[in-house]
Amino acid sequence: MFFELRQYRMRPGQRDAWVKYMEETIIPFQISKGMVVVGSFVGEEDRDLYVWIRRFTSEAERERLYQEVYQSDRWKNEIGPRVGELIDREQIKVSRIEATPKSVIQ
């Protein structure tokens, strides 16, 4: 099992719109495809920072879910184009991480 820690930078003034889009559209859509979203966060002092975490049981599962989400017509035609309006895609940072044995997040 591993996690993806995804960090995004908002376009100026778009944080509230981004959080709303994530919570009302992106996260529910991805969950409907089988993604496990562990958490969604905004920077307390850094207003342009958005972070979310997804969990995968294996690389094969991650590949399958990426295919189902990012190759879907809805993502390509509706959701994906809106993403670029709200975040700076050039600054996306994705880290793969594993929980330590005593971590409460498993």
pLDDT of residue 106: 77
**Is residue 74 over pLDDT 90?**
yes
Render pLDDT for 15-71 as a digit per residue (tens, 0 to 9). Answer: 999 999 999 999 999 999 999 999 999 999 999 999 999 999 999 999 999 999 999
Name the residue ranges covered by the structural domains of the chain: 2-97
Q: Indicate the pTM of the whole model.
A: 0.93
The yes-or-no verdict on residue 76 having pLDDT over 90 is yes
Q: Is 7 exposed, middle or buried (0-12, 13-18, 19+ CB in 10 A)?
A: middle
Radius of gyration of the chain (CA): 14
Beta-carbon count within 10 A of 3 CB: 20
CATH, domain range 2-97: 3.30.70.100
What pLDDT, on a 0 to 100 scale, did the predictor assign at position 51? 98
